[in-house]
Amino acid sequence: MADHAPLAYPRLAASGDRAVVIELSDEISEETNRRVVALAEDLDRHPIAGVVETVPTYRSLLVSYDPLILRGRDLRSLLLQRLATMRIDGTRGRRLIVPVLYGGGAGLDLAAMAEMKQMHAADLVALHGAADYRVYMIGFAPGFAYLGGLPEVLHTPRLAVPRQRIEAGSIGIGGRQASINSVAGPSGWRFIGRTPLRLFDPAREHPFLLKAGDHVRFRAIDEAEAEALDAAVAAGTAQADWEDA
């Protein structure tokens, strides 16, 4: 059997007749994702005529284009040129501080996870809240953020049988990842609390609260603060708590 040469990156491939995928690595890492996000931001700041939309993922960028304006072959060449010449900002961007009411009705799996990890629930909450999470991509549902950075001790397989409805704002753990439900729906993730914040609100000027490349830190709150934030979110007066990452 002939030996196969290792795949070289970046790799470009057509995705139908209106999009190109540029893959930057076969591994998931913060460095690869930073390059993906940097390329998307560069294309946003300095548009290529005919490019309609970019969608960052863990290790690749989907670039949609109008074939009446731009040929896919030309777009491939332009993407390689842009990747070779773009500059990656040395800053880490912005961090959203997410208030979380741990346990309670939304923390369906907190007690079971604590028992599984042989730790007190308070220690699990402290570990979850001490980590710095990176938004690797938005997908699955409108505004749903896939978060990397979950402490290894909290890595937990998804449920064998998904629940049929988990509310928006629920704080989840699935495998190596953390999440915040953006809309209500079925899920096999394990949930340990909820946030009053809305990651997706079509009435906002920018419906998605988070974007790829952002960072997240969770902050524990009590029921009184959760109720106050629920009221502020419902009234449209809540302000997201951002800081430099």
Q: What is the CATH number of the domain that holds 57?
A: 3.30.1360.40
Tell me: do 169 and 81 sit in the same domain.
no
Q: Provide the 8-state DSSP code for 215.
A: E
Tell me: do 159 and 225 sit in the same domain.
yes
Q: 23-52 burial, b for 16+ CB within 10 Å, e for fewer?
A: bbbeeeeeebbbbbbbbbbbbeeeeeebbe
Alpha-helical runs (H) found in the chain = 30-45, 72-85, 110-116, 121-130, 223-235
Last residue of a domain, one of 85, 117, 147: 85
Q: What's the pLDDT at 245? A: 86
Q: What's the pLDDT at 92? A: 76
Q: Is 54 part of a structural domain of the chain?
A: yes
| Structural domain boundaries enclosing 77 | 11-85
> What is the number of other CB atoms lying within 10 angstroms of the CB of residue 124?
23
CA angle 21, 25, 66 (to 5 degrees): 10
Alpha-helical runs (H) found in 3-49 = 30-45
Q: What is the largest CA-CA distance in the chain?
A: 67
Last residue of a domain, one of 57, 85, 113: 85
Q: What's the pLDDT at 87? A: 84
Instruction: Flag whether pLDDT at 4 surpasses 80.
Output: no
pLDDT in tens, 178-208: 999 999 999 999 999 999 999 999 999 999 9
Q: Is 43 part of a structural domain of the chain?
A: yes
Q: 174-192 burial, b for 16+ CB within 10 Å, e for fewer?
A: beebbbbbbbebebebbbb
Tell me: do 100 and 181 sit in the same domain.
yes
pLDDT in tens, 56-114: 999 999 999 999 999 999 999 999 999 999 888 767 789 999 999 999 999 999 999 99
Instruction: Flag whether pLDDT at 1 surpasses 60.
Output: no
CA-wise closest residue to 59 among 84, 89, 83, 36: 36
Q: Is 68 part of a structural domain of the chain?
A: yes
Structural domains of the chain, count: 2
Tell me: do 65 and 18 sit in the same domain.
yes
Measured in degrees and rounded to the nearest 5, phi and psi for residue 135 equal: -80, 105
Measured in degrees and rounded to the nearest 5, phi and psi for residue 67 equal: -65, -15
Tell me: do 79 and 124 sit in the same domain.
no
Tell me: do 112 and 206 sit in the same domain.
yes
CA angle 155, 158, 163 (to 5 degrees): 140
pTM: 0.91
- Taking each helix axis from N to C terminus, what angle separates 30-45 and 72-85, rounded to the nearest 10 degrees? 110
How many Å apart are CA 222 and CA 17, to the nearest integer? 51
pLDDT in tens, 136-183: 999 999 999 999 999 999 999 999 999 999 999 999 999 999 999 999
Q: Is 210 part of a structural domain of the chain?
A: yes
Length of the chain counted residue by residue? 245
Q: Is 115 part of a structural domain of the chain?
A: yes
> What is the number of other CB atoms lying within 10 angstroms of the CB of residue 160?
6
Report the C-alpha dihedral over residues 88, 49, 23, 16, rounded to 10 degrees.
Answer: 160
Q: Is 3 part of a structural domain of the chain?
A: no
CATH number at residue 174: 2.40.100.10
How many Å apart are CA 6 and CA 3, to the nearest integer? 9
pLDDT in tens, 18-50: 999 999 999 999 999 999 999 999 999 999 999
